[in-house]
Amino acid sequence: MDLQPVDIIIHIINIIVLFLLLRLLVYKPVRKYMLSREEKIKNEMNEADQYRQESVSLKKQYEASMTGAKDKLSKAMRDQQQKAEKEAGDIIAGAKTKAASIEEQARAQAEEEKRRAVRSMNEEITNLALDMASKILRREVRLEDNRALVDDFVKKAGENYAGSNPENRASL
């Protein structure tokens, strides 16, 4: 096989024509497809990036709102606990005040009962002493004189009795 310059030129022209045909028919559409595909991928990447940024933003908002909700909840719980403790303290203070009042009333009532009992006992002793004195004397003496004598006797006896026993002094 012999290579002729004309054959070489024909081959070069064939290659050039083939190149131009391929460029027109294959390269341009393939390049156009590749560029459109590249653009589509870029758009999808940008969209994905936007969605990711939005999701990060939403996550931050959610976390902030959850933190705010937790703070509000814990504050509300603290407030309710403080309120309950205050109410419990008020109830206890009221109960203590009422108990002290009842105790004071009971003491006053007991003291009054004691005074009445002492008065009643003094009157009984006076009456007994008068009866005894009248039986002993069997004479007529004025009742007021006898009462005065017996009252004086009871007072002195009560003072001696209270003075000799420290427990009785505290109770009188």
pLDDT digits (tens, 9 = 90+) for 45-57: 999 999 999 999 9
Domain ranges of the chain: 5-103
114 contacts 171 by C-beta, under 8 angstroms: yes
Please check the confidence at residue 26 and state whether its pLDDT lies above 70: yes
Task: Give the pLDDT score at 171.
Answer: 46
Which is higher by pLDDT, 128 or 172? 128
**133 vs 150: CA distance, rounded Å:** 9
Question: Measuring CA to CA, how many Å separate 2 from each of 5, 7, 8?
Answer: 10, 9, 11
Token duo for residue 152: 């004086």
Instruction: Please give the DSSP secondary-structure letter assigned to residue 27.
Output: I
In this predicted model, what pLDDT tens digit does every residue of 113-159 receive, in sequence order?
998 988 888 888 888 777 777 766 655 556 776 777 777 777 776 66
138 Ramachandran zone, left/alpha/beta (phi>0; psi -120 to 50)? left
